[in-house]
Amino acid sequence: MDYNQAQQRVSDLKKFYKNLLWFGIVAFIIYFDDIFEKGILHFSEWNGSIILMIWGIILTVKAVKLFLLDSQWEKNVIEKEMRKSKEPIKF
């Protein structure tokens, strides 16, 4: 991994952690506002949870891309595919 790739990865990690922090803050506000407004006995998990569910899915996709499908994974897949076809390239 060269310097530019490392710098891009650090930037992507920083953006991901900021998004995760904002997700936590917004989830806290939505759920505890509902609890304070309606009380614990009438608490409904569905108020505002559609937004959080969509946001959570987006964060999950970003996390998979960032942590599982990184440049090392890509390099390993390329090497694996190159080993599969050892026949000469026909021009």
Q: Where do the domains of the chain lie?
A: 6-84
pTM above 0.85, yes or no: no
Mean pLDDT, range 79-91, rounded to an integer: 71
CA atoms within 13 A on the CB side of 64: 5
Q: Would you call 40 helix, strand, or coil by DSSP?
A: coil
25-73 pLDDT, tens digit per residue, is 988 888 777 767 766 555 555 556 778 888 899 999 999 988 888 877 7
